[in-house]
Amino acid sequence: MNFNKYFAIFAIVILCLLSQHATEGHHLFGKVGREIERSAHKVGHKLEHARHEVTKTAKKVSKVVGHVKTAKKVVAAAGAIAGVVAAV
């Protein structure tokens, strides 16, 4: 009977220690999870900003391409006019 009492106390102490470690682990993983979520939010914000910058740059490039096409047409027209003037 005496052995059973001490064994029960020993088992309770072991269970308390295990539950304490489980609680610490849960707390640490919770902190890690929050840090990961916060970091993911920051990365998402930076990606959104980069997407916005790429969109702005693409619009500027598109505008420059439009100007180059217009310049090609003007040069072609000027060449045609110069050809007509030279022929006269």
Q: What is the pLDDT of residue 4?
A: 86
DSSP string, 34-79: HHHHHHHHHHHHHHHHHHHHHHHHHHHHHHHHHHHHHHHHHHHHHH
Q: What is the pLDDT of residue 5?
A: 87
Specify the residue for token string 């998402």. Answer: 44
Q: Over the chain (88 residues), what is each successive 10-residue block's mean pLDDT? A: 84 94 88 89 92 94 90 86 76
Q: What is the pLDDT of residue 1?
A: 60
Residue 4 CA to residue 45 CA, distance in Å, equals 61
Q: What is the pLDDT of residue 46?
A: 93
Regarding pTM above 0.75, the answer is no
